[in-house]
Amino acid sequence: MTAFLQSTFNGLVSGAFYALLALGLAVIFGMLRVVNFAHGAFYMLGAFGAYVLLAEAGVPFWLALVVVPLALALLGMALERAFIHRLTRLDPLYNFLLTFGLTLILQDLVKLRYGVQSSPYEAPAGLRGSVDLGLFDFPTYRVFILGFAVAVCVGVWWALARTRVGMVARAATERPELTRALGINVGRWITPVFGFGTALAGLAGVLAAPMRAVNPLMGADLIIVVFAVVVIGGLGSIFGSVAAGFGIGMAQAWAEAYLSAFPIVAQTIVFIVMAAVLFWRPAGLFGRAEAPA
């Protein structure tokens, strides 16, 4: 039982990263219809941002947790203004290629400066060690990540469900053309929404810094899984992305714990689930078939 709870908890923690990244992708896809391949690179920049700020300016983790996502929001908005919005009228493939190219450029720029080996980043003093969760001890930092990620997801959900901005975002996501015809300047929200999505990626990156190896390729592998998570949850579905993120995190952890003789299962389970979901529900678990404009 303890082992089960422990692997579940570990699964929820890696699921928290999937959920945060999938949430940003879903928000961006919903409003811009852009599959942002560079999302993994923004996550990596978030982790590097925290590392560089600490190593070169002594900026502590807590401050980085605020500053880095803001910086990534600005970077994201600048890239959206400079490149992405020029391509949104064209085939989505163009933006896929563009953001893929951006990924390679960002990765190589970081590689050029910091090399490929991992840079160490220590958890802040207050979050070291472990806490007693009754049945077992758990690393404090992981407990913090889980709580923080859940709070962010709930906050985003609340903003979408209960605020006027959220209502406009839902309307523009579901039926962009009708929403414009009802007097709402949808275009005005596009750049901030993209910035918000990249900020979420940066936030996940900062959270990852003390726990995962900080290196230029850290986003590259992760983002493939996150894409699968987004597809499972339903492209553009906020709730679906978050639920699928946590779900896949747990599924991977259980496969690791109970099918350890077949490590291939844990590595591929996300894609197996994705194939099954697509077969059964092509729009994803919580996705809806594309509505008319």
Q: Give the binding site for other proteins (CB under 8 A).
A: 167-168, 170-171, 173-175, 177-187, 288, 291-292
Residue 163, CA distances (Å) to 152, 159, 189, 245 in order: 16, 5, 14, 24
Residue 189 Cβ vs other proteins, minimum distance, rounded to whole Å: 11
Of 82 and 289, CB closest to other proteins: 289
Instruction: For other proteins, give the closer residue by CB, 26 or 102.
Output: 26
Least distance from other proteins to the Cβ atom of residue 93, Å: 20
Cα–Cα distance between 141 and 130 in angstroms, integer? Answer: 8
Please give the distance of CA 31 from its chain centroid, rounded to a whole number: 16
Q: Which residue, 81 or 175, is less far from other proteins as judged by CB? A: 175
Residue 130 forms beta bridges with which residues? 139
- Nearest to other proteins of 135, 161 (CB atom): 161
Minimum separation from the CB atom of position 11 to other proteins (A)? 29
Written as six digits, the tokens of 114 are 């910091």
Residue 213 backbone zone (phi > 0: left; psi -120 to 50: alpha; other: beta) = beta
Q: What is the DSSP letter of 214?
A: B
**Closer residue to other proteins in complex, CB, 184/278:** 184
Minimum CB distance to other proteins, residue 177 (Å) = 6
Residues in the chain: 293
| 93 burial level (CB within 10 Å; 0-12, 13-18, 19+) | exposed
Q: Smaller CB distance to other proteins: residue 58 or 292?
A: 292
Please list the residues that pair with 33 across neighbouring strands: none
Q: At its nearest, how many Å lie between other proteins and the CB of residue 32?
A: 17
Of 1, 59, 22, the C-alpha closest to 236 is: 22
Residue 228 CA to residue 18 CA, distance in Å, equals 10
CA of residue 223 relative to chain centroid, distance: 8
CB of 288 to other proteins, least distance (A): 7
